Amino acid sequence: METISENTCFGGTQGVYRHKSSSTGGDMTFGLFLPAEAQDGPVPILWYLSGLTCTHENAMTKAGAQAWCAEQGIAIVFPDTSPRGEDVADDAAYDLGQGAGFYVDATQAPWAPHFQMWTYIADELPALLGENFAIDLERQAITGHSMGGHGALTLAMGMPGRFKSVSAFAPISNPTASDWGKKQLSAYLGDDQSLWAKHDATLMMRETGFNGPVLIDTGTQDQFIDLLKPEALAEAANARRQQATLRLQPGYDHSYFFVASFIEEHVAFHADALYAS
């Protein structure tokens, strides 16, 4: 593993690291903030999954999460959104290919050799963090924005017992019924829509739900709200009587100004769950 940078940040360390990934078949880069408490022993960790076109850097520099994670004594990791490189398949559109991994394990050409983002986030990167940093893998929580909100919700519901809590900012909530989903799931997973269900938060909420607290914020002025379909996830959560807080925030859009406005609440929400056990 290569250290790209390490900077003192709110009494802790904001690092950027690169490593060779066995799951994606190439180099992957991630950001990791460790609070001061990590100098004394393992700390809980919050995963932040980013959205379309993002790298590890967007949330790391724009969300303002480090201050609140330092206050709560928890680490936060910012993975990349896809494999990258000249030998990695791509598409001319912004919403497919590099920068648009959708947190699935692709089975279709030309994506399958590298686009194994579910395995990378679920298995490879946690193991790497546990081996190299003062991270308590028994206390994990997860959040994300847009495509990353989709990833956070599906990973949380798809791996029961892994995460203590899950939250999302403007998640793609019902991708099997949205143009932000149909295109990507068919490209990565093929035309058998039964294989798409475990990557749709609304369908997963109806089927299994999440054994823990859920917090979701979406702005009423989000320019992509018709693609996000927050109402579908709300209906599924209500039908299941899922423990959840789903909020429509008046006036907010899809930008990182929105994320930064509510990140403190989300970090505190996860800290409550991470320190409850």
Active site residues: 146, 222, 254
d(CA 156, CA 159) in angstroms, rounded, equals 6
- Three-class DSSP labels, 95-136: CCECCECCCCECCCCCCCCCCEHHHHHHHHHHHHHHHHCCEE
Query: Rg of the chain's alpha carbons, rounded to an integer?
Result: 17
C-alpha to C-alpha distance for 243 and 229, rounded to whole angstroms: 19
Candidates 168, 128, 154, 162; CA nearest to 265 is 168
Neighbours of 131 (CB within 10 A): 9
Closest CA to 13 of 41, 39, 33: 33
